[in-house]
Amino acid sequence: MTITRLTAAAALLAATALPAVAETAIDYGPRPAFLIDKMEDGPLKDKLASCLGQTPKRTDFSIGHRGAALMFPEHTRESYVAGARMGAGILECDVTFTKDKELVCRHAQNDLATTTDILVTDLAGKCVTPFTPANGDEPAGAECRTAELTLAEFKSLSPKMDAADKSATTPEAFQGGVADWRTTLYANDATIMTHEESIELFKSLGVKFTPELKGPSVEMPFDGFTQQAYAQKMIDEYKAAGVAPEDVFAQSFDLSDILYWIENEPEFGAQAVYLDDRYEASDEDEGLIDPNDPATFKPTMQELADMGVNYIAPPMWMLVTVEDSEIVPSAYTREAQAAGLDIITWTMERSGPLATGGGWYFQSLKDVTDNDGVYFELLDVLAQEVGVTGVFSDWPATVTYYANCMGL
């Protein structure tokens, strides 16, 4: 980056300086008690109910997934602050880049059509796929990438709840579609964030960092910007901010990113988190993982450990199965434990009401998922039998409450 571009970026950040965060005590809110009321009677319910009067404390076991994205627009200042106020000890900025190669917080490089108001602004013309109205069986859609915008243009957008009305015939109507178990109550005037801004905010909140290097939607190298330079730039922003490596848990679904950090930034690489998505592998590569068949784990857990990987983070359903109507650890879990890998998992409170099975995040235990209290039942197995070191949640208060009650 040239000195001119550095100066311009600094000026932009100064012009958009964020207000100070009001000091607030950690608060669970009503949801943990609501979930406890829904649980079936038994020792776990009794134990959790006994903690209703406890004083909430921050815990690294509770990780704010995109902040507190159940009710707040994800990757916004407001979502992050809400997650910290629910006791999350670690917060996540998903990291991608703009046209001028500045790092920003977005779940995907190409999600601007559903997470911001870009389609109803003058920047809509920069979308790689313009808005297309619904037509018969064809749903409405658009694709808009951060890589098509400068940092200044990105910062001009207003974030919203991640949703779209696929039946829309206008860009304005496309802004809707929020699930009926979410809300737009906290979406007004939400603040979009750069990666550097997230670092400063998290420091002020007293929490740790788990940035995820997102896979680009553009071909790499991008205007000379290589994947390795992208991975390095993310780490460099923590170093420039004086953040201790032990406070950073850098994530990626791309194993090559993890291995890059292990080799080139070993202090950060020691806590790099491999987001294991091999359950989505195609038949043309390594094939799908069956969480109960170790023969499908390629590379194996021991091979990952031998590469220097210390942390893996699969989705919750890969870590558990159902035996005799009870939630128990899967073979995947047992192999990870045998290899000495630390396990983090995602994502609690990502699904809506669990009475109908819980959807994708609960697919391996859908036969026993029939009420919202199962959130705590699953969390107990993950903590006590799987031995996870942290749990991502869209509403961190639930995980914070459990961790506080169990003394984690």
Helix (H, G, I), strand (E, B) or coil at 362: helix
Segment (H or E) for 97: strand 94-97
Question: What is the pLDDT, as a whole number, of residue 357?
Answer: 86
Task: Check the CA dihedral 26-30-34-36 and report its sign.
Answer: positive
Token output for 28: 């669970």
Report yes or no: 379 and 32 within 8 Å, Cβ to Cβ. no
Helix (H, G, I), strand (E, B) or coil at 161: coil
Cross-strand bridge partners of residue 274 = 252, 312
Nearest CA to 402 out of 62, 89, 37 is that of 62
Cα Rg, the chain, nearest whole Å: 21
3-state secondary structure 394-407: CCCHHHHHHHHHHC
Query: Residues near 45 by Cβ (< 8 Å), separated by ≥ 6?
Result: 36, 39, 373, 376
- Beta carbons within 10 angstroms of residue 29's beta carbon: 15
Q: What are phi and psi of 147, to 5 degrees?
A: -70, -10
Cα 264 to Cα 256, 261, 383, distances in angstroms: 12, 5, 32
pLDDT along the chain (408 residues), means of 10: 41 47 79 97 98 97 98 98 98 98 98 98 98 97 98 98 98 97 95 98 97 98 98 98 98 98 98 93 66 90 98 98 97 97 97 89 93 97 98 98 97
Helix (H, G, I), strand (E, B) or coil at 338: helix
Token output for 139: 């749903």
Q: Is the peptide bond before 24 cis (omega within 30 degrees of 0)?
A: no
Question: What is the pLDDT, as a whole number, of residue 3?
Answer: 39
Question: What is the pLDDT, as a whole number, of residue 15?
Answer: 42
In order of their start, the domains of the chain are 28-105+192-406 (3.20.20.190)
pTM: 0.93
